[in-house]
Amino acid sequence: MIENYKKYLDFIQNKINGFFERQKPYIFCKKGCSLCCEKGEYPWSYIEYKYIIEGFLKLDFELQNKIKENIKKIKEDKKNFNGDGIFMHQCPFLIDKVCVLYDYRGIICRSFGLLVNLENKKPQIPFCSSLGLNYSNVYDSEKKIISNDMWKKTGIETEPKLYNVSYNFLTNDSFADAYNFKFGEKRPLIDWFEEI
């Protein structure tokens, strides 16, 4: 089943890479920028969990232990969380601002940074737009929208474009069926770790 999932990942990664390439004038992600990994809930399916564990087991023991400590701390923080809303945390695989399991990363990680077309909802703009990163050259911070007027002023020929790369869309059962695997249950990433 994991082999079929990997074939699906190759397919969607190729598509997503094309989307990022087409939106290059608006994408300011770079090595060392880990804002998207520093505070989130990170939806994760069962097969994504199995795949990242495959990568985890290939790491040296020192890195494995750092990740285990991160998971332990996050789980303790979650247990003590009494705030309203969603419990947000740093990804446990982020070490020194680098994803140590980048090749095994989840689907949400692969598409983050693009403008996302959410079915029947307002488009999702990456939060880093307001921090001077992706799409910041066309982001109207007062109206909290991607501005057509700002785009025209940039002189960039390529229009900022929405892509259907929402997590729910990319983890739709029709994709899994086409590649002969199952995504399985979906949970916040940290909830997959009982014992690691």
Section 20-34 average pLDDT: 91
How does DSSP classify residue 101? T
pLDDT in tens, 131-168: 999 999 999 999 999 999 999 999 999 999 999 999 99
- Does the structure show a pLDDT above 60 at 196? no
Q: How many separate domains does the chain show?
A: 1
Residue 171 pLDDT: 96
Q: How far, in Å, CA of 117 to CA of 61, rounded? A: 40
pLDDT in tens, 1-19: 899 999 999 999 999 999 9
pLDDT in tens, 74-106: 999 999 998 778 999 999 999 999 999 999 999
Section 166-192 average pLDDT: 95
- Does the structure show a pLDDT above 90 at 120? no
Q: How far, in Å, CA of 158 to CA of 135, rounded? A: 12
Give the range of the structural domain holding residue 84, as residue numbers without chain letter. 2-192
